[in-house]
Amino acid sequence: MLFDLRAKERRDELYGRKEEADELIRLINSGSWVAVLGPRMIGKTSLMKVALSELSNKYTGVYANLFGTKGLGSMLVALVNALNSTRGTIDKFKSFLAGIEEFHIGPDGISLRSSSKPVTTMFDLFSALGRTGDHFVIALDEVQELAAVSPHLLKILGNVFNTYRNIQFVFSGSNFGLIRVLLEPGPGSPLYGRSPTRLALKPFTKDVSVAFLKSGLHECGMEFGEKRIDAVVERLDGLVGWLTLFGHNLAVKRLAYEVALRETVEEGKGIVRSELDHFLEGRDKRLYLAVLRVIAIKEPLGAKWGEVKREVEMELKQVLNPASLLNVIEGLRRAGMVTEEDGAYRIVDPLLREVVSSTPF
């Protein structure tokens, strides 16, 4: 069902992403490692899950959500959990884990004894998978928080890349901490020259957004006037996650139209605001907010570098050093809040635009 709030897992529930899904499948089939990129709520997790399920007759797909994992130890736990819930996998590779002290193989799958050497343990785990000879696609979602352990992780990934062609990774996360280290590896990095192929998701166009809402409503046996649908798209734009939430409020929860839209905006803004607060911790809040606000106001054309500089300086009544401003914009870009195309900076998410416009310094 289109208005189901969980990430989609089947192609027939995945609206308007045929090309992207085909492309992800093509890249995996060609042996590539891939990074699925895009702002929050654009459908990254859904795209990865659909690709894994479509490829399930050829590859063993392992989906691991690394949300909240900050170190290799907790990443190991998440990986082991993901493997335990991937049907048929444990039986195939448990013999390759036998003899490694950190793993215990019981009736419910693998469990992890506390590991004092998570780097070695993680490599042992991937080696065991690799030696089965089966072909694995391991989707690591929400990798952003692992930036702190990136040197170790990059080393492990570089090793897997060189040793086991039958293990491929697909990475995603809305916040580019680790993804950036993966995508722009310096000459000293174990992934230098082997960084994953990028697959960037764009918001739906206006027409696709309208058609998405209509199809979802139709599935629920409801119809709505063009004007009201247009008004929703005007407000929520082409971010499929917000459109789905609205559709769910209206057609599943059966809230009245105005209430459904208001609740979607409020809930969405709550999510966006808490992410923004988290991002701003330890940063120059005044400066970041001024930059975001100036960019938000310039929608839909976007703001050029010179405009951002001039208007932020006016707002803060101080002259800005170009290098510091560039640093701020880069930080926002990496966090997925700001995009840059043809020299214009934009905030794609309309709810983020509303939040920054109403947040006092």
Ligand X SMILES: Nc1ncnc2c1ncn2[C@@H]1O[C@H](COP(=O)(O)OP(=O)(O)OP(=O)(O)O)[C@@H](O)[C@H]1O
> Which residues contact Mg ion (rule: CB under 5 A)?
44-45
Angle, in degrees to the nearest 10, between helices 226-236 and 240-247? 130
Q: How far is CA 289 from CA 280, 301, 311, 332, in A?
A: 9, 19, 12, 10
Give the nearer residue to Mg ion in terms of CB position, either 36 or 308: 36
From 106-114, 239-247, 281-289, 302-310, span contacting ligand X (CB under 6 A):
239-247
Please say which residue, 164 or 242, places its beta carbon nearer to ligand X: 242
Residue nearest ligand X by beta-carbon distance:
43
* Least spacing, CB of residue 16 vs ligand X, in Å: 6
Contact present, 231 and 34 (Cβ < 8 Å) = no
Partner interacting with residue 16 (select from ligand X, Mg ion, none; CB below 5-8 Å by kind):
ligand X
By the rule CB under 6 A, 241 interacts with ligand X: yes
Check binding of 76 to ligand X (CB under 6 A): no
Is 347 within 8 Å of 300 (Cβ atoms)?
no
Would you count residue 41 as binding ligand X (CB under 6 A)? yes
Q: How many Å apart are CA 75 and CA 69, to the nearest integer?
A: 6
What does residue 186 show for φ and ψ, rounded to 5 degrees? Answer: -75, 170
34, 59, 128, 152 from 86: Cα distances, Å? 21, 12, 15, 26
Using alpha carbons, list the distances in angstroms from residue 181 to 101, 141, 153.
32, 15, 10
Chosen residue from 28, 42, 329, 351 binding ligand X by CB under 6 A: 42
Residue 150 interacts with ligand X (CB under 6 A): yes or no: no
Q: Which stretch binds ligand X (CB under 6 A): 7-15, 54-62, 97-105, 280-288?
A: 7-15
Residue 40: contacted member of Mg ion, ligand X, none (CB under 5 to 8 Å, by partner type): ligand X
Least CB distance from residue 244 to ligand X, whole Å? 4
Binding of ligand X by 240 (CB under 6 A): yes
Give dist(CA 245, CA 263) in Å, integer: 9
The whole-angstrom separation of Cα 286 and Cα 264 is 28
Q: Does 353 bind ligand X (CB under 6 A)?
A: no
Is residue 129 a contact residue for ligand X (CB under 6 A)? no
Using CB under 6 A as the criterion, which residues of the chain lie in contact with ligand X when the complex forms? 2, 4-8, 14-17, 38, 40-46, 174, 240-241, 244
